[in-house]
Amino acid sequence: MLPRVALLWCLMSVFVLPGTAAAYVDRGTDPDDRAPVRFDPDIRATVRRVEPGEQRRKLAVVVRAYEDFGFLWQIDVRLDARGGPAADTRMRLWNADTGGMGCEVWKRGHRGQAVEGAFALSADRARCSVPIGLIEPSKRIRWRLISEGYDEESETDRAPDVGWYG
């Protein structure tokens, strides 16, 4: 009986536990520190989630704003998946009015090789999801967001204001 239990435990640790351990969620918040000017979002909260997928794991970044997202905005997400001093991967979420909306991800220095992600947008929430293989993490992923204004009246919102989430 004991050998069967030991075998079952070994099989579970090989096939079940790594998938569970590989999925994680971290959350961050940011104060209401940007005057509402036009459509530029003031970041309220963000979630970075590594989730299991049917074929492969995915990285999802969710951004919530204090106001509803408008028709003309962009949020840059800096991702550090290797524990270095700077971001090694970038993600961009945007709505360009009649120019379309979406999200994409690319390795630092390879902007021309951006890969489109799965994008979802509701009133005050935007989400981008990409296969985690595009990020190639060797450490738990840290992230930070930058929402730049489109004109000189707007100020840049950084979340967190200093440092990284995660």
What is the predicted pLDDT for the residue at 79?
A: 96
The strand pairing partners of 29, in sequence order, are 45
Q: Report the greatest alpha carbon distance in the chain.
A: 73
What is the predicted pLDDT for the residue at 53?
A: 73
Kindly give the parts of the chain with pLDDT less than 70.
1-22, 36-39, 150-153
The strand pairing partners of 94, in sequence order, are 74, 102
Single pTM value for the model: 0.81
Q: Nearest CA to 74 among 52, 106, 97?
A: 97
What is the predicted pLDDT for the residue at 7?
A: 43
